[in-house]
Each structure stands twice: as structure tokens, then as C-alpha cells.
Structure 1
Amino acid sequence: MSFEDYFANSTEDLSETTITEQKSRSVNIHGILWPFLYTVLIIVANFLSLIAFFIEKRLRAYNNYFIINLTILDFLTGLFLIPTVVHTHIGYYPFSQDICKVISGLRLGILNASNLAVVVICADRHQATYDPINHFISRNKRMAVIKNIIPWIVSVVFWFLYTTIPEFIIDFDNDRHCIRWYTLRTLPGIIPFIALFYLPFTIIAVLYFRIVAKIQATLGGKNVEKRFAMKDAKKGKITAELPHDDMTSAVSTATINIDLSSDNFDQQIMRKNVNAANNAKKTTINRETATEMSKATRTLLFIVVAFVVSWLPQSIMILIYSIEPVLIIPGLPRPARLFIGWMPFLNSLLNPIAYAVSQPLFRSTIFNMFLCRRRM
């Protein structure tokens, strides 16, 4: 039995002596109730999210196209969990080996695409933070669709080349538990979790910490400017830094002192305010508003936290199990193995919750759907 089956299904090889035990387990309602409810919650939560995006046009902004893509992937993840629920309950894979080969490639491709979609969201936020003008100019529906297609293509192609096609070529025996060929060896068995978690996690961590560092540096700069402005106002003067060119290279900065009692002080202040307003208007046109950036960054935070919390426990356990199974098997009961095995799919349930927490419009749309009220 593969290490993935050990955690996800916790089933044993069937034999003449275990048939009775498997049959008795199949009548146990608890063997199907919780996995079934878990899967239904994932499907329903993401389906409601898709309906919300469909009926509320204001939710279909550029940033939310990435959320819609992630929602579709999480919805499909829930659908592909149905065979796993049946497998966990009856103790063997319910379909043929050919279907197993194809479904395995699709399921892992969708699951990997969901994780890579988080990477794409981080990359888009990174560009918006470090290159806001070009990001704003280039962002449109077409660009969002192109960026969202990338995780699908990369993931499905990789997993079909790594899982499905090799199994058909060598006519691999998937057994009654739909095991994959790479689970029979240590190194090929670790590579999938590098693709599913460790590689996306590394990229997400680097991008997200760079985003946070940039935002903190920007906020820190604004605070410094405010303190200097307040200090100069108390002194009764306005300070300005003059740009230097070749003619004034000997002078780095200069301070212009304006007497508050001067007759033309009001005119100078008015001109300064008009220029500042014009500059602010141009800046706003060429980049995201502060509200858009704040909402997108807050949504990203919840998505990243959900990703790490859901995937980290099993990724660590699988890594240990691949190196030395004895370190995991003796003291880990079946309920614990099932809990750890199902945790990665928690990500698909937490994501819709993250949207509702971080976006008031999304939350109100869902609320109005339950109350059967039309949006105002």
C-alpha cells in the first residue's frame, strides 16, 4: 500500500481473513458520515461562491477573477473527492484501473492547479506592489484569463506526464486501492509533494514577505513625511527640496523659508494645493486605489494562511513516512491518519470562508442569497 493511501484512506489489503471485517466496517455509518459531510461542505461552499460572483457584477473586478478561478478549482476538488469518500468507506477503489489512471491524473492536476493559483495571486499582488503603474495599465479581463489559465495547463500536463501516461505505457497494476506507480519508490514518491506543496509554498513565502516588506516601507515613509510636515508647520515655515542638475550639482538641497505674514503666502499655498491635487489625481488614475489594494492584500493573507494550515501537517508527515515509515506507523491510530490525510482538502473549504471574511460585498451577497433578497 502506498503512503498516500496510508494517510488518505487508511485501508488494508483485502484477503480471505479480512473480508468479514471489511463488510462489518461498511455498515458503520461513521465510516461514511464525516467524509461525506466534509465533501458536501466543500462542494456547496464553492458552488455558492460561484453563484455570488455570477449574480453580483460588482464582484467581477480584475482582482476577483483570480478568486473565481480558485473557486472553480476548489469546486472541482470537491467533486473529485467523491470516489475517495467511497474508497475510504468500502476499503477499495470503486472503479476500474483505467478510470483510476485517468482520474488520478485529473485529481492531482486540479489539486496542484489550486495551489499554483495561490502562487499566481501572490505574483499579481507582487507586481501591483512593486510596479503599480504598469500593473494597472496592463490589467484587464484578457490578462486575468491568461494568468489564470497558466496553473491549469502546467498542472494537468505535469500530472498526466508523471502519473497517467507512464502507467498506461508500462501497464501498471493499480491494485484494488488505485495506487500510483511512483508511490512504490521513495524519491519518485517525494517529488509529487514537492510539486503540490513545497515548491508553491517556497514561492508564496518569498513573494508574500516581499509584499509585506514593501507595504511596511511605504507606510513608514508616509509616517516620516507626516512628522516632518507637522514639525515644519509648528516652526511657521514650509520646506522644500530643490532638484539639482548639472548647473546646480554643487548644491544638493535648499530650504525655502516663507514668512507666514507675507502677502503672497496664500497664493503660494493655493498653487501648492492645486499641484498636489493634480499629482494625486494622476497617481490615482495610473494605479490601484488604496481601498482596492487593501482589500486584495487582506484577501491574499487569508488565502495564504489557509493554504499553509491545510497542507503543512500532511506534507511533514508524508516526508517522514517516505524516509522512515517506522517513525509514523506504530503510534498513529486510524482516525489520526484519516484526519491528516483529509487536511489538505480543508484548503478548498477555507478559501470561500476567506472571501467572506475579507470582502464585505461578497459576504452581503451570500447573506442576501440565503434571505432571497435582491441586491440594492
Structure 2
Amino acid sequence: MSEEQTDSNSSRYYFDNTSTRVQSSFVSSGPVFAILMVMMVTLVVVIVLGNALVILAFKVDKSLRTQCNYYFLNLAISDFLVGAFCIPVYMPYILTGRWTLGQGLCKLWLVMDYLLCSASVFNIVLISYDRFLSVTRAVSYRARQGMTHRAVVKMIAVWVLAFILYGPAIIFWELVVGKRRVPKDECFAEFYYSWYFLLSASMLEFFSPFISVAFFNLSIYLSIRRRRLHSREAQLHLQLSEPASAQGKGIPLAHNCGFGMKLAVRGSINSQTSSPSLSKLDPSTSRASQPSRLSRDKKIAKSLAIIVCVFAICWAPYTLLMIIRAACRGRCIQHHWYEVTFWLLWLNSAINPFLYPLCHSSFRRAFSKILCPRRHTTPLSAVLRTGQ
């Protein structure tokens, strides 16, 4: 009897607290309503147009269709759906404080929202892992660049894992518990105050991905640092060996072949420079390719670091707050803080498209083709001149 009474009291608090927080968090005054409306519509427009531009870039520019860029496409699709579906459906709810679209659409919205947000996280992990392989295992990575079917399999796996994480719990939670606790005029997950479930899910959705991404970033940084030191040592060795080889005949001339291998060539320097076969082993070629590859990897590390930092800023507050809020059943944290962190998740979907042109020249070129097509069209007079 006492257990039933306790459960009844907790359920009553569950309803009363939720209803109170929903009604108190929405101000029906005209100016506040207008400001919220403008902000939400602006966010929707930025998310939809920004991510649509990324998706369209893959259609316009075939050079973007590499294995690594497919993961950016997958991220853009999930972010696009956040702006096209999740936020527009949520807008009437946050402005009026009542869910009027029915329980069926509520379930669908919850599944889609959790699915898309989780897919964004897993896509960021996948992008980080791909960048990690491109830097630490460059040779095998380049050999697999044309195998796009592997990228497609990984993209599908992201969506499957994202659904498994929250989808079954949203759909079947009330069947397992045996009753429904969410009022008909509200829409939130049944596990809203189940801190043990939220803690377990957060380990898979945020903490494990964040640790993985941090590991990939650190490994990339250490790899670049080691190669920078090796590059300096190689340049110093060449500077010391070239003056010695120029003093006369019969002195070995060391050529750096780019992979730590040295070739000793005996004979006259004049005869060496005239030989076409030896000119192919010119150390200047390997010295030019090594810094360019190092510079490319530095850009990869910087772009990945920016994306990861934005991910942490947008996701960490929500994840920590949800766990604390569930543990104290909403008594210790005001609802407006929950709303702020909740919208931070969606803000991440608006920021991601702007990170691509900022960090990747290939995306900048593709966006330029779409937004400024006249710059990339060849004038007829130029075509006639080249034909003559």
C-alpha cells in the first residue's frame, strides 16, 4: 500500500511539475512571442538552407564524392532534417505550452528528434575516425578512397545505431512499465526522469563519442608533431651533406627519397645532373611533397579540432543537465536552463554547414559554383580564342 501511495505521489509530482514548468516557461505577451518566433524561424532557415547547400554541393561537384566527404554528407542530411522537421513541429508546442498534434505524432517527433541528434554525434565520431586514418595510415587510406561502398555501409550503421539507442525506449517504454505517465497535452519521453537510463544512454551518446574523438585528435596531433621533427632532422641532414658533396668527385651524394631511405651515388656531380634517371630522384621533389603533405594534415587537424570543440560546447551542457535533472526529478534545476541547453543541440545543426567552407577548400569551391555560377562559366570569346 505504501509503495502504491509513493508511486502515486511521484506520478502526481511528475504531472504537476511538468505542467507547471511548461505553463510557466511560456510567456504569452506579444513582444516575447514575436522575438521567439523570429529567432526560431531564423534558425530553421539557416539550418535548412545551409545543409541543403552542402547536399547540393555533392550533386554539382563530383570531386567532392570521396569516401571522407560522404560522412559530411551524412551529417548534413541529419542536420537538414532537424531544421525541416524537428524544429517546425516543436515550435507550436513551445509557443503555446500545449501539444495539440496527437500522441502518434508525438511519438514520431520524439523518435526523429532523438534519432537525428544521435546520428549527428555518431557522424562526428565517424568523421574524426576517418581523419585519424588519413593521417596515421596515409598509404592504405589513399588506396581505399575509391571504395565508396564501405562509406555507405558505415553511414547506414550510424543510422541503425542512432535508432537503437533511443527508438525502442520511446516506443515501448510505457508497455514495459505498464502505464503512461505523460499527459495527453504534453510531449516528452517516458524516461524523462529515469536517471539510470539517461546515464546509460549518455555514456553511449556523448561520453564515449567525446572520449573517442579526443583520442583521435590527440593521435593526429602527436603524429604531426613526430613528422615535423623528422622533417626538420631530414632538412638539417641535407643541408650538411650538400656542401660536402659539392667539393669534388668520388664523394657520396645522399639523396633523400622521402621515406627515410637514402641512396648513395658515386661519381662526378656533372655526370649525375646530366643523367635522366638520376634526375627523377631529385631530393627537391621529395622535400616538396613532404611539407605539402604535412601542411595538409595540419589543416585536417585544425578543421577537426574546430568541429569537435563546437560539438562539445553544444552537447556537454545538455547531457550533464539531463542526468542531474533526472536524478533530482527536476527539483534542483530550473526549466529555462533545460530549454537553453536543448536549443544548443539544434544550434549545432546550424553551425556545421559553416564549418565546411571554413575548413575545406573543396567545399568552398563547390559553394562558389552554386552561389556564383557566372564566375565558373567560360566566356564564348575565350572558347573561340582557344579554338583558333
Give the TM interval when normalised to the shorter protein: 0.7 to 0.9
Residues 41 and 370 of structure 1: CA distance in aligned 2, closer, same or farther (over 3 Å): same
1:68-87 to 2 correspondences below 5 Å: 68-78=73-83, 79-87=85-93
Q: CA deviation at 1:312?
A: 2.1
| Corresponding residue number in structure 2 for 1:250 | none
Match of 1:209 among 218, 239, 253: 218
The separation in 2 between residues aligned to 1:214 and 1:226, in whole angstroms, is 18
1:125-164 CA distance string (max 9 Å, x none): 2222222222222232212212222211111123222322
Q: CA deviation at 1:49?
A: 1.8
Percent of residue pairs identical: 19
Q: CA deviation at 1:355?
A: 0.5
Q: AA paired with 1:107?
A: D
Residues 267 and 164 of structure 1: CA distance in aligned 2, closer, same or farther (over 3 Å): farther
Matching of residue 375 in structure 1 with residue 376 in structure 2: yes
**Normalising to structure 2: TM-score of the pair?**
0.75
The answer to whether the 8 Å contact 2:70/2:151 transfers is: yes
The answer to whether the 8 Å contact 2:193/2:326 transfers is: no
Which blocks of at least 5 consecutive residues in structure 1 are unaligned?
1-10, 242-253
Matching of residue 188 in structure 1 with residue 187 in structure 2: no
**Normalising to structure 1: TM-score of the pair?**
0.77
Specify which structure has the bigger relative contact order, considering alpha-carbon pairs within 8 angstroms and separated by 6 or more residues.
Answer: 1
Matching of residue 61 in structure 1 with residue 66 in structure 2: yes
Matching of residue 359 in structure 1 with residue 360 in structure 2: yes
Which blocks of at least 5 consecutive residues in structure 2 are unaligned?
1-16, 246-250, 256-261, 378-388
| Corresponding residue number in structure 1 for 2:128 | 122
**Cα RMSD between the aligned structures?**
3.7
Q: AA paired with 1:213?
A: L
Q: AA paired with 2:216?
A: L
The separation in 2 between residues aligned to 1:206 and 1:60, in whole angstroms, is 27
Residues 323 and 14 of structure 1: CA distance in aligned 2, closer, same or farther (over 3 Å): closer
Q: AA paired with 1:124?
A: D
The separation in 2 between residues aligned to 1:192 and 1:276, in whole angstroms, is 56
Residues 184 and 372 of structure 1: CA distance in aligned 2, closer, same or farther (over 3 Å): same
Matching of residue 310 in structure 1 with residue 323 in structure 2: no
1:1-376 to 2 correspondences below 5 Å: 13=19, 24-25=28-29, 28-78=33-83, 79-139=85-145, 140-169=147-176, 170=178, 172-175=180-183, 176-236=185-245, 264-268=268-272, 273-275=279-281, 293=297, 296-324=300-328, 328-329=332-333, 334=336, 337-371=338-372, 373=374, 375-376=376-377
Q: CA deviation at 1:75?
A: 0.5
The answer to whether the 8 Å contact 1:295/1:358 transfers is: yes
Residue 83 of structure 1 aligns to a residue in which SS? helix
1:207-259 CA distance string (max 9 Å, x none): 11111211221122111111111122244465769xxxxxxxxxxxx99797x
Q: AA paired with 1:115?
A: V
Q: CA deviation at 1:289?
A: 6.2
Q: AA paired with 1:104?
A: L
Q: AA paired with 1:119?
A: V
Misfit runs of 4+, over 6 Å: 254-258, 288-292
Q: AA paired with 2:150?
A: M
The answer to whether the 8 Å contact 1:303/1:354 transfers is: yes
Residues 80 and 275 of structure 1: CA distance in aligned 2, closer, same or farther (over 3 Å): same
The answer to whether the 8 Å contact 1:77/1:107 transfers is: yes
Residues 225 and 39 of structure 1: CA distance in aligned 2, closer, same or farther (over 3 Å): same
Residue 191 of structure 2 aligns to a residue in which SS? helix
Q: AA paired with 2:197?
A: P
